[in-house]
Chain A
Amino acid sequence: MRSIRMVTLTALLALGVAACGGGTTKDTVSSASPAAPASSAAAKADPNAPIKEGLKLAFLPKQINNPYETIVDKAGIEAAAEFKGEAKEVGPSDASASSQISYINTLTQQGHDAILIAANDANAVCGPLQEARAKGIKIVSYDSDAAPECRDIFINQASSEEVGRSQVKLLADMIGSKGEIAILSATANATNQNTWIEFMKDELGKPEYKDMKLVKVAYGDDDDQKSFTETQGLLQAYPDLKGIISPTTVGISAAARYISGSKYKGKVVLTGLGTPNQMRQFVKDKTVEKFALWNPKDLGYLASFAAAALASGQITGAEGETLKAGKLGERTIGAKGEIILGPPFTFEASNIDEFDF
């Protein structure tokens, strides 16, 4: 028994080393000057303060093997080069609530100027983040927020309301605001999904959509096979279905793949949130006409600039302050320290080839 446990332990340790070794440091943009020591917290914002050179930023995604977060973080690391900063990505190999804590502690000890985090759990990361802030490190959350009192700024990819409502509009345009529709979501308890679905339902309540009927919300658990089965089930159980909204990248690509090889191609309209690379094939073979997403590269870029502005004292995270974000222009900080990236972008056959992510 003891030897079994030892071997298991060794195997698990081996995994940890293999997984972390694979992606601890993905990319480092060299800086012109050596890193400056962590700046002390500026009490007051000075909009005209120059961005300091050699700022050290660290991206901490939900997990390092997530393709979407890889795109975000890479763009953020590239953006750091624009203001002569130094950025890197570190993170856990699993997206569990507590897996980011040790990374936050390490980054704090290493004396970074800012930590950018996509929180796996809004509260689990709170304590360590507070300790980091106590040492003058600025915290920017992106993609998935930490509790507001534990970070300086949250970069929201798009307002939940805008995402929910725009998805319904997108589908309504394609099916002439008429017929039965369904939603293929991720897991039944995913907070962002459920918020979007609430806004979709609210939008559907408007008089212009009175002929559209939401018949079912299905859950594909962000799993290919499950999303396949759920799509099949929806189409069998509701033969009159006219459209499906899948606001999750795994769901929409699985549904598109299934529909592209079935008799439903051309009869059922599919839309949702997906990445251009994932959906290119299905836009080209005309399974999908239009879908939406924010630009994850812009998300990383904006987060990087926000972190730099915070660390340089240009902003403090208070409502109403203005952030100058390079090529993206200016963004105003909203309530609870939130900055919204912008409205979701619609991809279709005419523009999809301009994007590569």
Chain B
Amino acid sequence: MTTAAAPPEPAVRARSARNLVDLVFRARELSLVIALAALVAITAGVNGNFLSGQGIEDILLNTAILALLAVGQSLVVITRNLDLSVGSVVGLVAFVTGDMLASGWGMVPGIVLGVAIGAVCGLLNGLLVSFCRVPALVVTLGTLYVIQGVGHFIAHGRQINAVDLPPGLLSLGNGSVLGIPYLPLITLVVMLAIGYYLRSYPSGREFYAIGSSPEAAGLAGVPVRRRILVAYLVSGCLAGLAGVLWLARFGTVIADSANGWELLVISAVVVGGVAITGGVGSVYGAALGALLLTTIGSALVVLRVNPFWQQAITGALLLLAISVDRVLALRVARLLRRRSRHG
């Protein structure tokens, strides 16, 4: 584009192709919004309380922690990796932070400690995956168990109770500012910051490049290992933050509070349109996925549907999301090929 002599077509063509890809994947997020709107409309039609102030607050509160974890996880998944250890990190952080706060620590040091523990776990995952080149699935499965074991060791069967925690932390869990609860507000700020970074910074775009093709990204000069390390670090920090928020919200925690949540988080990410094969998707989609899964859970309860169906519906949704992704990807690839041939 710096030389006037260059023919304009390739640039135009590239842009229109990119717009097309953008459009298709924005349609992906749009379809989530539509599904969500339909679900809320039906449920509210059956029971008006679903859309009352308390009802909306409940859904936002229920979503906050899952969405926060999904935002961190999507960063890792975009680089074609996986972080299975987040559930264990949340449990460990919730317990250790609770223990420290109960023994008289202040709020701020407590939160910092929680995020720091998450950062250490994330760093460990990142180093093993990026520098030791062990597959992410294996590394994070290992750290899932190790971190859980450490949690059990520290807790020794103890439990943190709401009465031991400072009132400030508990009000963080169910308090609000201008009618908006703190928890979703925190998630929103984190999501917007990471979303903006991924979209608008060159280094943010490199995460996508790595996920699309690690080899090509490496050849193009992208610091692949460093970016992957950062992705795990961020995921770990957010899991640490989520652990503190978990403590604030539930008040009562044991060693492995968020046991099994890693799969829920990955479900939210995939339903939200982040391709498990990397390179595609956004943190907004992931957060929307978390919102959709949570709303389905709440709606089924309000609609008095047998709870046994809930997991089956989540599973069906996952399969649907993956099929849609696959079909979209094939269609986009075909369109792009045709254009480059004819153009």
Instruction: Mark out the residues of chain B between 142 and 183 whose CB falls within 8 Å of any chain A CB in the assembled complex.
Output: 142, 145-146, 148-150, 152-153, 155-159, 161-163, 170, 173-175
- Cα-based distance from A242 to B307 in the complex (angstroms): 23
A254-B161 in contact given A4-B138, A11-B138, A22-B152 (Cβ < 8 Å): no
Interface presence of B191 (CB below 8 A): no
B157 touches A232 (CB 8 A): no
A18 touches B153 (CB 8 A): yes
Query: Could you give, for residues 44-83 of chain B, a 1 whenever the CB lies within 8 Å of some chain A CB and a 0 otherwise?
Result: 0001011010110010001000000000000000000000
Number of interface residues of B (CB under 8 A): 47
A15 touches B135 (CB 8 A): no
B158 touches A11 (CB 8 A): no
Interface presence of B195 (CB below 8 A): no
Instruction: Mark out the residues of chain A between 1 and 53 whose CB falls within 8 Å of any chain B CB in the assembled complex.
Output: 4, 7-8, 10-12, 14-15, 18-19, 21-23, 26
Instruction: Mark out the residues of chain B between 179 and 221 whose CB falls within 8 Å of any chain A CB in the assembled complex.
Output: none
A257: contacting residue among B49, B251, B254, CB under 8 A? B251
Q: Spell out B's residues near A (CB within 8 Å).
A: 47, 49-50, 52, 54-55, 58, 62, 134-135, 138, 141-142, 145-146, 148-150, 152-153, 155-159, 161-163, 170, 173-175, 249-252, 254-257, 297-298, 301-302, 304, 307-308
B149 touches A230 (CB 8 A): no
CB contacts (< 8 Å) of B134 on chain A: these are 7
CB contacts (< 8 Å) of B135 on chain A: these are 4
A281 touches B162 (CB 8 A): yes
Interface presence of A229 (CB below 8 A): yes
A65 touches B47 (CB 8 A): no
CB contacts (< 8 Å) of B302 on chain A: these are 233, 236-237
A278-B49 in contact given A14-B142, A18-B150, A233-B301 (Cβ < 8 Å): no
Nearest residue, chain B, Cβ from A239: B49
A22: contacting residue among B156, B249, B256, B257, CB under 8 A? B156
Interface size class of A (residues with CB under 8 A): 35 or more
B161: contacting residue among A10, A233, A280, CB under 8 A? A280
Closest 4 CB pairs between A and B? A233-B301, A261-B174, A18-B149, A11-B142
Instruction: Mark out the residues of chain A between 100 and 153 whose CB falls within 8 Å of any chain B CB in the assembled complex.
Output: none
Interface of A is mostly: helix
Q: How far is the CB of B49 from chain A (nearest CB, A)?
A: 4
CB contacts (< 8 Å) of B161 on chain A: these are 277-278, 280-281
CB contacts (< 8 Å) of B255 on chain A: these are 65
A64 touches B307 (CB 8 A): no
Q: Spell out A's residues near B (CB within 8 Å).
A: 4, 7-8, 10-12, 14-15, 18-19, 21-23, 26, 64-67, 69-70, 93, 188, 216, 218-219, 224-225, 228-230, 232-234, 236-237, 239, 250, 253-254, 257, 260-264, 277-278, 280-282, 284
A11: contacting residue among B141, B153, B155, CB under 8 A? B141
A11-B62 in contact given A237-B302, A260-B174 (Cβ < 8 Å): no
Given contacts A232-B301, A253-B252, A260-B174, 13 further A-B contacts (CB under 8 A): A11-B141, A11-B146, A18-B145, A22-B153, A23-B153, A219-B307, A229-B301, A236-B55, A237-B301, A261-B175, A264-B54, A278-B159, A281-B170
CB contacts (< 8 Å) of B158 on chain A: these are 67, 70
B157: contacting residue among A67, A228, A278, A282, CB under 8 A? A67
A23 touches B252 (CB 8 A): no
